[in-house]
Amino acid sequence: MPQNEYMERHRKLHGRRLDYEERKRKREARLPKIRAKKAQKLRGIKAKLFNKERRNEKIQMKKKIQAHEEKKVKKQEDKVEDGALPTYLLDRGVQSSAKVLSNMIKQKRKEKAGKWDVPIPKVRAQSDAEVFKVLKSGKSRRKAWKRMVTKVTFVGENFTRKPPKFERFIRPMALRFKKAHVTHPELKATFHLPILGVKKNPSSPMFTSLGVITKGTVLEVNISELGLVTQTGKVVWGKYAQVTNNPENDGCINAVLLV
Amino acid sequence: MEVDDSDDRDAIHTIQARLVSDTGEEAGPPIDLPVGITTAQLTLICNALLQNEEQTPYLFFVNEEEVKQSLDKAIDIKKLDTEALIDIVYQPQALFKVRPVTRCTSSMPGHAEAVVSLNFSPCGQHLASGSGDTTLRLWDLNTETPHFTCTGHKQWVLCVAWSPDSTKVASSCKNGETRIWDPNTGKQLGKPLLGHKKWINCISWEPYHDNPDCRRIATAGTDGDVRIWDVVLGHSERILSGHTGGVTAVRWGGSGVIFTSSKDRTIKMWRASDGVLCRTMTGHAHWVNNLALNTDYVLRTGPFHPVIDKLKKYSMTTDKNELREVALQRYKKVCPDGVESLVSCSDDFTLYLWRSNSSKCVARMTGHQNVVNDVKYSPNVMYFASASFDKSVRLWNAHNGAFICTFRGHVQAVYTLAWSADSRLIVSGSKDSTLKVWSVQTKKLEQELPGHADEVFAVDWAPDGSRVASGGKDKIVKLWAY
């Protein structure tokens, strides 16, 4: 152990070697190569420690470079963005995309597009045989005029059953639905909305009147909780939506709102 | 109605009187009145007898002589025949009433982006609107057409504020610049006021009675600073820093105090003259969104009494000191002891009522179910109304913060509201693209004003009550009138 700061003392008395700076520069220049070789050779815990240290160094270096580059770049004028918001909404992270399209544009779009321009234009036709299952009745099971609907149905609130004798179509309770998951295509948000009725089942008008819901069926849903307003300020509450999944397979109805 | 007359030492303490209209119809049966009854008490009695739904002010006359303060000052009791019935003639006074706006008088297109801020001048002659298209527009209210387009800002014009003498408009943009404009030429006055590092949330002018030159403004920046500027010299006089969050609102009170509310959940009071922090009011649990002073209306209109002096042309003709005196008197009337009350609304769904002489709140008002975005005192300082994102507007008693009623009807968040000059009506602007006029008296919806195609961001009722202006995302400024 040195008993004194003799190295410093010597340096003060005699100065450094004449080629000290030169040697130092060269040593430093060689250092990366030495370290690279070391990085390849090391094994085990030492390698681990070394790599960790090296990684941190690199991160710091990159950060420094980035900072310097940022300093060089002159600040450009901020472009004026669209969708101006008042001060009280600026920091709220309002989903500016939520209602990107103003009602006005929606209105125009509606006028341009045909009324039945729907998201799923082509639907596989459902045959009667697929939708209805023949039920045998009568004492000796000879009669076969009863049908059971094998697809999801919507049955209105005020539906009352006919006497079983005259009840030709049976809509099983387990396949009756009251609500649908409706996606608003512009809001990109899905709502669980009550169904008001089946507007059209493209396969057959009879399915429409029975309330059969298959893929491509147009439903009327209650959107009052979305709080949409017409041009005249009235709350919109009924809107059409088209079913996008096969409800009988999935156990839920997914639909997309027609706007 | 029955007034206690238990004191029997003086023989003539009550008189028999009946209230008679100037056409001679009796308001009710004769009543015993104490001689010391004041006009205010007489008004109450008269209103009760006539079963008026709303309080009407009356003038009272006895023997053709007006009762100015109390009955015994108007009549000579000594000479009075106490057995006889005295006729007190009452005369209803005209009530200033703002008629509810019912129709859109004009939709003024012009802005190329959403209209974000809107303000009538205190004299009611000008309207300025700031928009996302980086311009401030001044509108001609007589023809309801665009008057001037003030270009200069580089970003959305977020706030607009008129000086109390209506000769200057201050506007600020999202870059943190503030510019001053002359409403008569549409030209910029002086240099832009640079200094804020982020956008400005609110601008407040120095009250007229403090300085009739209207030279100083206070701006609330999102960078947490409040700056006081001299708009003539165009430099920042003072920086009030102390808030740790963005400052959401600033109000230059009438007694030389600046009130600021911030996102750091506090409200601070500063002395305007030297920028010393006087008081910090804590209580809110989340951002404080807005502030309202009970003197807001008188400070905004300054020397203009928008109702009485509607046709009087000011500022050019009258001496400034005279006007200053008027402004001071109006201020003193609302706030005689210099202690202002203020309400703050917050993201924690509550409102707090404060007085400027204590850092403890007077009342904490709960009831809203979502962020409370705006609160405004009625011009007569009897109520204040709050607009919330829970789709409702609530009315509160300004004295003790008691809840009065809820106005429901909007189907989306209510952004802002404005009071009519007679404090009988409120107009609210909402995300659901409608304006609704609410009656304070009946506590019901008075009028629904659809017409905007998208969210309504800014609403203002002219100080003289003649019209309402609104602007929103559909880029159109609409004017509404009766």
Verify whether the Cβ–Cβ distance B155 to A80 is below 8 Å.
yes
Using alpha carbons only, what angle is made at residue B158 by residues B157 and B164, rounded to the nearest 5 degrees? 95
| Contact status of A85 with chain B (Cβ, < 8 Å) | yes
pLDDT at A120: 82
| Contact status of A40 with chain B (Cβ, < 8 Å) | no
Which CATH number is A224's domain given? 2.40.10.310
Same domain, A29 and A121: no
A82: pLDDT strictly greater than 80: no
Q: In this structure, what token pair is assigned to residue B284? A: 């809110």
Residues of A in contact with B117 (CB under 8 A): 86-87
Burial B345-359 (b: 16+ CB within 10 A, else e): bbbbbbbbbbebeee
CA distances from A255 to A145, A209, A215, A251, B362 (A): 33, 19, 9, 13, 52
User: Using CB atoms and an 8 Å cut-off, which of residues 34-93 of chain B contact chain A?
Assistant: none
Closest Cβ opposite residue B132 in set A84, A104, A107: A84
Verify whether the Cβ–Cβ distance B374 to A232 is below 8 Å.
no
Domain count, chain A: 2
Q: How confident is the model at residue A109 (pLDDT cuts 50, 70, 90)?
A: low
| Contact status of A105 with chain B (Cβ, < 8 Å) | no
Residues of A in contact with B135 (CB under 8 A): none
| Helical spans, DSSP H, in B86-239 | none
In-domain check, residue A96: no
In-domain check, residue A242: yes
Mean pLDDT by 10 residues, chain B (482 residues): 45 75 77 81 82 75 77 73 77 74 87 90 87 90 87 89 88 89 88 88 89 88 90 88 90 89 91 88 90 88 68 59 82 84 91 89 90 90 90 90 90 90 88 89 87 89 87 90 85
Same domain, A205 and A123: yes
In-domain check, residue A66: yes
Closest Cβ opposite residue B134 in set A80, A87, A103: A80
Closest chain A residue to B471, measured at CA:
A86
pLDDT at B344: 92
Domain that holds residue A196: 103-257
Interface test with B, best of A89, A97, A229 (most B CBs within 10 A): A229
Same domain, A156 and A241: yes
Same domain, A43 and A112: no
Same domain, A64 and A108: no
Closest chain A residue to B173, measured at CA:
A87
Residues of A in contact with B222 (CB under 8 A): 90-91
Closest Cβ opposite residue B289 in set A77, A88, A99: A88
Same domain, A119 and A179: yes
Verify whether the Cβ–Cβ distance A227 to B411 is below 8 Å.
yes
Verify whether the Cβ–Cβ distance A229 to B450 is below 8 Å.
yes
Query: What are the tens digits of pLDDT across the range A16-74?
Result: 999 999 999 999 999 999 999 999 999 999 999 999 999 999 999 999 999 888 877 66
Using alpha carbons only, what angle is made at residue B332 by residues B396 and B260, rounded to the nearest 5 degrees? 60
A116: pLDDT strictly greater than 90: no
pLDDT at A76: 58
In-domain check, residue A251: yes
Q: How many CB pairs under 8 A join A and B?
A: 95
Verify whether the Cβ–Cβ distance A77 to B134 is below 8 Å.
no
pLDDT at B316: 54
Q: What is the mean pLDDT of residues A130-134?
A: 92
Contacts (Cβ under 8 Å, ≥6 apart) of B420: B98, B379, B426, B427, B461, B465
Q: Of B432, B368, B453, give the one whose Cα is nearest residue B406.
A: B368
Closest CA–CA distance from residue A109 to any residue of chain B (Å)? 14
Length of chain A: 259
In-domain check, residue A1: no
Q: In this structure, what token pair is assigned to residue B308? A: 């009485």
Closest CA–CA distance from residue B117 to any residue of chain A (Å)? 7
| Contact status of A234 with chain B (Cβ, < 8 Å) | yes
Token look-up 């600020």 returns B172
Q: Structural domains in chain B?
A: 14-92 (3.10.20.90), 103-481 (2.130.10.10)
- 10 Å CB burial of residue B262 (0-12, 13-18, 19+) is buried
Closest Cβ opposite residue A233 in set B133, B263, B434: B434
Q: Is the dihedral of CA A204, A210, A215, A216 positive or negative?
A: positive
Query: What are the tens digits of pLDDT across the range B164-213?
Result: 888 889 999 888 889 999 988 888 888 888 888 888 999 999 988 888 88
Q: In this structure, what token pair is assigned to residue B91? A: 């005369």
pLDDT at A106: 60
Same domain, A26 and A141: no
- Across B263-413, the runs of DSSP E, i.e. the strands, are 266-271, 277-282, 288-293, 341-346, 351-355, 363-365, 372-377, 383-388, 392-397, 403-408
Of A53, A72, A91, the residue at which a domain comes to its end is: A72
| Contact status of B480 with chain A (Cβ, < 8 Å) | no
Q: Are strands B225-230 and B235-241 parallel, antiparallel or unpaired?
A: antiparallel
pLDDT at A103: 55
Verify whether the Cβ–Cβ distance A233 to B449 is below 8 Å.
yes
CA distance B318 to B329: 16
**Residue B239: what residue type?**
I
Same domain, A66 and A121: no
pLDDT at B235: 87
In-domain check, residue A84: no
Residues of A in contact with B433 (CB under 8 A): 103, 229, 233
A98: pLDDT strictly greater than 70: no
Same domain, A154 and A237: yes
Residues of B in contact with A232 (CB under 8 A): 450
Closest chain B residue to A86, measured at CA:
B116
| Spatial contact of B469 and B482, defined as CB atoms under 8 Å apart | no
Of A24, A49, A72, the residue at which a domain comes to its end is: A72
Closest CA–CA distance from residue B259 to any residue of chain A (Å)? 18
Token look-up 């004191």 returns B7
Residues of B in contact with A99 (CB under 8 A): 454-455
In-domain check, residue A169: yes
In-domain check, residue A91: no
Same domain, A155 and A66: no
Q: What is the mean pLDDT of residues A178-199?
A: 90
Kindly write down the DSSP assignment for every residue of B290-317, as one continuous string. Answer: EEEETTHHHHHHTT--TTTTSS---TTS
A251: pLDDT strictly greater than 50: yes
pLDDT at B2: 44
Closest CA–CA distance from residue A258 to any residue of chain B (Å)? 19
| Contact status of A84 with chain B (Cβ, < 8 Å) | yes
Verify whether the Cβ–Cβ distance A83 to B434 is below 8 Å.
no
Verify whether the Cβ–Cβ distance B154 to A80 is below 8 Å.
yes
Question: Which ipTM value was assigned to this complex?
Answer: 0.71
CA distance B129 to B157: 9
Verify whether the Cβ–Cβ distance A233 to B448 is below 8 Å.
yes
pLDDT at B4: 47
Same domain, A194 and A238: yes
Closest CA–CA distance from residue B444 to any residue of chain A (Å)? 18
Same domain, A247 and A190: yes
